[in-house]
Amino acid sequence: MEKVSDIFGSMVFNDAVMKERLPKQTYRALRESIETNKDLTMDVANVIAAEMKNWAIENGATHFAHWFLPLSGVNAEKHDAFISPVGDGTIIMDFSGKDLIKGEPDGSSFPSGGIRATFEARGYTNWDPTSYAFIKEKTLCIPTAFAAYGGEALDQKTPLLRSMDEINKQAMRIMKIFGMDDVKKVITSVGAEQEYFLVDKETYLKRPDLIYTGRTLFGAKPPKRQELDDHYFGAINPRVKEFMEDIDVELWKLGIPVKTEHNEVAPAQHEMAPIYSETNVALDQNQLSMELLRKIARRHDMVCLLHEKPFAGVNGSGKHVNWSISTDTGMNLLDPGDNPKKNMMFMLMLIAVIQAVDDYQDLLRCAVASAGNDHRLGGNEAPPAIISVFLGDEIGFVVDKIIAGEEIHMDKEGLFDLGANVLPSFKKDTTDRNRTSPFAFTGNKFEFRMPGSEQSIGDICCVLNTIVAESLEQYADRLESTTDLAGDLRKLTKDVLTKHQRIIYNGDNYTEEWVALAEKRGLLNLTSTAEAVTQSLNKKNIELYKKHGIFTETEVRARFEVQLENYGKMINIEALTMIDMARKFIAPAVSAYSADLADTAISKKELGVNANAEISALSRISDLAEVLGQKINLLEEAVIKAGEYEPVEAATFFHDSVIPKMNELRVVADELETLTCKEYWPFPSYGDLLSSVQS
């Protein structure tokens, strides 16, 4: 393999390439546009487009595409060749500034929540110069925002960029209050850990549920799952290692700084994690990573499952969003330093996040709501649906003392000694890690552990940026006229922590005691998407978005409609798939096995041999087969009934009526699997799937 340093970013029109290839005046104009939000002139755009095209063609590209992230959850791109006829039967390779800046996809063919009707098709994609263009499969891909004809956002990127502008605006007010005049910009950064499963392609293709829904709708528990904890951080299977090496190379070529990879807890489960990037870049990189995980797995005759809970009874997959905020001068504003007691900036940013999470816990829960994530949240691998903030012992100690108005005395050393001379001592982190917490401070960042593996980080980071911007705006309003910054900041810190201490919890979030305590504190426990999504329409949330210019009320309501419709559609697809699998495959298989059992019993009786075992098994299977038919019919009736409701009522009906009937059907089918000879059962078992790549 080529050296990593040689291939990293080789397929990206990044800053180094632009600095080398663009005229100095053009490069300066582009940087000024990025840093000051000043529009580029068409002359400058034409020069950039020409050099981008030349670079792309030199690297094998034949087409270009505006690459965008619609609300369908799937990356979108429409390819156009660089060719342009010249009238004599020949062509030139052409790509203009207009081609670079603007595209016109069909706005009504993507989810819009009613913003675009079929007869109102026009939509626009708009180049995002802060996220580098890249080459993928001989196509120059230009990251863009996507909006309707009226300017309404129809994608993940547009509101995220708006939120980044807003948190920068409010944070810069704080920088001025602190006299940090050298700071020109405040940036949020994200590192998104990505979990996934790998299964054998041939085995996968025998499971209609995996093909249609991304998860197994039937499946009896295998004899061995994750009880022995022998998969987590274990030696990586050679077949998986080859895949990981391949994915590393492809991601590195695209400038995606993937660094960590390992086996996760569940069999067949793995994780990869990149180094932090600016939030909108991290969004693009994570979307590309998911696309390439799926694509490259198939090269290795495997399938990558990104569903949050592809297998019942083993851990599901999350996407831990590590969020931080820093200045363009390199200062991490969430780094407590050697003594968080004395770090005023850190304490201000800490209370801003604590207040934001408490005030807008409903928006954070809404941002991670999906049919897939409902299966994962609250299990013994993911945080519960109740949102809280974990601070750890040291920061928690400081917070408790501030609320109580007491003096703070701290151990300055904080050294960690394992008691063996050969092992060096090292300085402990400011906090322990709490795997049960939804929102944990982990030393110089917050880790939001609730997002599901298949979800876009766009909405999630948009919410985080916006709610923290709201806290910072309130603090700036209070502190800008101060004549005693230290004194007023101490009072502000105590006021905020006292008011919002209910959201802080450093214990085990899996316990029933925490559920009861959270209810006593007045925290929300929104256990389903049907409950969570409606929170976005709360008046305070709509006003928040409008105030900070993130969404209009029309955009908020449109996204609410899209999220609820997606939930209902997904449950409907799963229910129909279950009916199809049970009726066309499971019932006939059970019938065939029952017939053979009966023939065996008759033959034994004719020979005067005891047939009690066959008769007993046949009796149980026959009883279950009858119940199976009843459960299929009941589920079918519920699905038909769901179609009579509008999206809001339908979502509730799917949750309250359809899903319970799906669960009832599964219980019967899974028991039948344990009683039916493997040769008759129509689908690969859990054991087959989970060991298909690992064996």
Domain with residue 17: its CATH number is 3.10.20.70
Structure-model confidence comparison of residues 379 and 167, the more confident one:
167
Contacts of 359 (CB under 8 A, 6+ apart): 467, 470, 471, 500
Q: 227 pLDDT exceeds 60?
A: no
Among the residue ranges 335-344, 370-379, 620-629, the one predicted with the least confidence is 335-344
Distance in angstroms (rounded) separating the CA atoms of residues 244 and 230: 20
Distance in angstroms (rounded) separating the CA atoms of residues 629 and 579: 10
Distance in angstroms (rounded) separating the CA atoms of residues 225 and 687: 8
CB-based contact 166:465 (threshold 8 Å): yes
Q: Are residues 104 and 183 both part of a single domain?
A: no
Q: Are residues 115 and 179 both part of a single domain?
A: no
Distance in angstroms (rounded) separating the CA atoms of residues 318 and 306: 9
Distance in angstroms (rounded) separating the CA atoms of residues 509 and 581: 37
Structure-model confidence comparison of residues 108 and 224, the more confident one:
108
Distance in angstroms (rounded) separating the CA atoms of residues 93 and 630: 64
Mean pLDDT of 343-354: 93
Q: What is the pLDDT of residue 426?
A: 37
Among the residue ranges 7-16, 145-154, 287-296, 430-439, the one predicted with the least confidence is 430-439
Distance in angstroms (rounded) separating the CA atoms of residues 635 and 633: 5
Q: Are residues 351 and 425 both part of a single domain?
A: yes
Question: pTM for the whole thing?
Answer: 0.92
Q: What is the pLDDT of residue 424?
A: 46
Q: Which of 260, 181, 157, 279 is nearest to 550 (CA)?
A: 157
Q: 125 pLDDT exceeds 70?
A: yes
Residue 506 falls inside a structural domain: yes
264 Cα distance to chain centroid: 17
Among the residue ranges 103-117, 361-375, 557-571, 642-656, the one predicted with the least confidence is 103-117
630 Cα distance to chain centroid: 38
Mean pLDDT of 177-191: 95
Q: Are residues 39 and 72 both part of a single domain?
A: yes
- Whole-number percent of the chain with pLDDT over 90: 72
Q: What is the pLDDT of residue 606?
A: 83
Residue 453 falls inside a structural domain: yes
Residue 556 falls inside a structural domain: no
CB-based contact 321:424 (threshold 8 Å): no
515-538 pLDDT tens trace: 999 999 999 999 999 999 999 999
**Alpha-carbon distance values, 569 to 103, 639, 650 (Å):** 29, 11, 10
CA dihedral 118, 120, 122, 126 (to 10 degrees): -90
493-512 pLDDT tens trace: 999 999 999 999 999 998 99
User: What amino acid occupies position 611?
Assistant: A
393-451 pLDDT tens trace: 888 888 888 888 887 665 555 433 434 444 344 344 555 567 789 999 998 999 999 99
What does the mean pLDDT of the chain come to? 90
pLDDT band at 85 (very low <50, low <70, confident <90, very high): low
Q: Are residues 186 and 114 both part of a single domain?
A: no
Q: Are residues 577 and 647 both part of a single domain?
A: yes
Q: 262 pLDDT exceeds 90?
A: no
Q: Domains in the chain: how many in total?
A: 4
Distance in angstroms (rounded) separating the CA atoms of residues 119 and 109: 10
Helices (DSSP H) in 307-370: which residue ranges? Answer: 344-359, 361-367
The CATH code of the domain that includes 246 is 3.30.590.10
Q: What is the pLDDT of residue 695?
A: 62
Q: Are residues 395 and 496 both part of a single domain?
A: yes
Mean pLDDT of 651-657: 95
Expressed as residue numbers, the domain containing 264 is 196-316
Q: Are residues 431 and 534 both part of a single domain?
A: yes
Q: 179 pLDDT exceeds 70?
A: yes
Q: What is the pLDDT of residue 414?
A: 47
